[in-house]
Amino acid sequence: MSDKYDVVVVGSGPGGYVAAIRCAQLGLTTACVEQWEDAKDKAVLGGTCLNVGCIPSKALLDSSHKYIEAKEHFDVHGISTGKVAMDVKQMQARKDKIVMQLTGGIAGLFKANGVTSIRGHGKVLAGKKVEVTAADGKSSILDADNIIIAAGSQVINIPPAPVDNETIVDSTGALEFNAVPKRLGVIGAGVIGLELGSVWSRLGAEVVVLEALEDFLPAMDVQIAKETKKILTKQGLDIRLGCRVTGTEVTGAKKKSVKVSFSSGDEDSTETFDKLIVAVGRKPNSENLLSADCGVNMDERGFIFVDDYCATEAPGVFAIGDVVRGPMLAHKASEEGVMVAERIVGKKTAMNYDCIPNVIYTHPEVASVGKTEQELKAAGEDFKVGVFPFVASGRALAANDSDGMVKLIADSNTDRILGCHIVGPSAADLVQQIVIAMEFGSSSEDIALTVFGHPTLSEAVHEAALAANGHAIHIQNKRPRKK
């Protein structure tokens, strides 16, 4: 194995492995350094996303959704199932099989594309060198013409709720429960808290979500956030806003419960749970990542400074994904990886950061792209809004899945689409239609004049575009809204 490469990638998550493969496709000798190990101390690729993040959580979300559908919603179709039971062990085994298949798939793709996989912790040194420290403590040095830092992120822990991975767990531990807790507490009403809370709520847990902020999903469009909270509350999630956790106490001889203290306004309260999930966010994996003299700088929170093309202040060194500015999203990291790989070989590839979709995989899903109504109002922009509820969609009604709405926002003067926000069935896939439209600078009229198949959920996007100009067919039109 050569110690000199055209490119060394640090990290094999969705940013790192995509960057490494694209570099190899472009003819660059490429190595990817990854320290992740599974429970059996076996090296695995894929980072947080594939091992303990996006993929396993979606597997559990899908299994739990099928369970609650069979238990509570099949009868409306005339289907009688008798007693429905969930085998948690089998559910977890299915999740683990999916993870193994996908992480093994990356290893296969590395081999097919000629990427060298190196096991160990990567640290960027001066002179475009990477120190690799193996699990046994032995280290080696890799020389590179270019370095791509894709180290990812880790969960944030908070002093009032120290994780013990038994009673108090982080998002990783919440994926590994071997039984459904009778009463489950979740600290944080963000993406992770809502998704994991939904999983165990569907399986029978009484779930209480404690959120320190007064607003629910403040980064989302306010109208969509309100509708989402209403739907999730109807499903059984007890979402309490303005609740700041001040302490926890694990009780019982076998640590079978945890008492959580929290304050809400001037009132102090306590709740007791069988399990507690701490899901208050993530931070960049920047500890022991950079030598002091490597020329790469980061802020006080550990985010690496980069320009619009993910170049750091050190020539030939790039950083992508969760360790740099912007949303911590796997698809954002992947596209940054492609951009950097192509710029290394001289292409002028760039990313449109205004067209990055965001998704919460509850059911119904919540998805968005572009500006929210509150952002546009704050900026004093003239805009118009079209809203179409799924209850008016024939396809959604036929599927007994009609909660939510599509909201499309366009510039009042140019009609250019500024944003789209959806809570409803298949929102993650529907919003992608608008992502493509925005990438090409489309107007709401462009969507309105496009022929959509019938009956489809996509027609809700079509009708929202029509509604933005007061032309909706299947709902009563309102006068276009402005700031």
List the catalytic residues: 454
Three-state secondary-structure class, residue 87: coil
**For residue 115, what are its two tokens?**
């990427």
Q: Is the dihedral of CA 452, 220, 354, 32 positive or negative?
A: negative
Cβ-in-10-Å burial (0-12, 13-18, 19+) of 476 comes to exposed
Which are the contacts of 441, defined by CB distance < 8 A and separation ≥ 6? 416
Give start and end residues of each alpha helix (H) in 41-150. Answer: 47-52, 54-68, 88-113
Q: 3-class secondary structure for 278-308? A: ECCCEEECCCCCECCCCCCCECCCCCECCCC
- What is the full DSSP assignment across 166-200? SSEE-HHHHT--SS--SEEEEE--SHHHHHHHHHH
Q: Is the peptide bond before 455 cis (omega within 30 degrees of 0)?
A: yes
Which helix or strand (DSSP H or E) is residue 429 part of?
helix 427-439
Q: Is 249 helix (H, G, I), strand (E, B) or coil?
A: strand
Six-digit token string for 76: 């409306």
From 156, 146, 155, 134, select the one nearest 296 (Cα to Cα).
146
